[in-house]
Amino acid sequence: MRRVTAPVIPGAEPMARTGGDDGVLVLHGFTGNPQSLRPLAEAVADAGYSVELPLLPGHGTALEDMVPTRFADWARAADEAYEGLAARCRRVAVAALSMGGTLACRLAERRPEITALVLVNPMVEPPAESYRDVLRGLLASGTDVAPGIGSDIAREGGVELSYAGSPLEAALSLFEGVDEVAAGLASISCPVLLFSSRNDHVVPSSSGDLLAARVSGPVERVWLERSYHVATLDHDAPLIESRTVSFLAEVFAGRAHGAPALGTTGRATAEPAGT
């Protein structure tokens, strides 16, 4: 893999915070960087947990640095960040957005000791082969980068410091990673807190449907009515932060998290932020 050629974008730096004996690994999405999850990571750290929010390879610098990276590179970085956090914490949970959710599920499939997952609009549903064929056709025609998918935010003035483009080869490698993760979802037995935006222009809510149907552990689903894909920077960010902190307190305390608080289906509706 080619080494980084550009400096880190101001605001996109990784974050590490030493807190208590329990840790939380936080993973960002495709073409994004830690900026999109920093408020959530800070809320978790302020609650007393040790936190690692790594910058995944090729991200947070310049688009050219991401072009040669692949899913294996991002998965390796997530593995290393988890191992480092687990080495100094007695228990570890993982919180993630979008492709970070793909990586989080991959970790949980391979590491049953993970305490819990907090997933915001995770990408775990394999894209249609017809869509992949479109991307392959673009590549064959000489187009290496498609328009960017970042800053899908409903809140006026909300900005994600993501790349303006999406490298197509990297995207296709992500889809292959999603294929692998989707096939193994049933092996995830830890509690899952799942946030799903009603209106998401990047990852359809059917991806959350698939996750909720396939994992073997308890799922609490919170529907976000006012936010788009990057909900961690959107209207419902305060709700995500507060629900995440309370969920982590429950699972780290060892209390059973089987029955959802708002009924038997595992689905809840988010209150408007600030209420």
257 labelled catalytic: no
Point out the catalytic residue in the list 229, 235, 236, 257.
Answer: 229
152 labelled catalytic: no
Point out the catalytic residue in the list 200, 234, 235, 236.
Answer: 200
Point out the catalytic residue in the list 22, 50, 59, 98.
Answer: 98
234 labelled catalytic: no
3-state DSSP of the chain: CCCCCCCCCCCCCCEEECCCCEEEEEECCCCCCHHHCHHHHHHHHHCCCEEEECCCCCCCCCHHHHCCCCHHHHHHHHHHHHHHHHHHCCEEEEEEECHHHHHHHHHHHHCCCCCCEEEECCCCCCCCHHHHHHHHHHHHCCCCEEECCCCCCCCCCCCCCCCCEEEHHHHHHHHHHHHHHHHCHHHCCCCEEEEEECCCCCCCCHHHHHHHHHCCCCEEEEEECCCCCCHHHCCCHHHHHHHHHHHHHHHHCCCCCCCCCCCCCCEEECCCCCC
Task: Please identify every residue annotated as catalytic.
Answer: 98, 200, 229
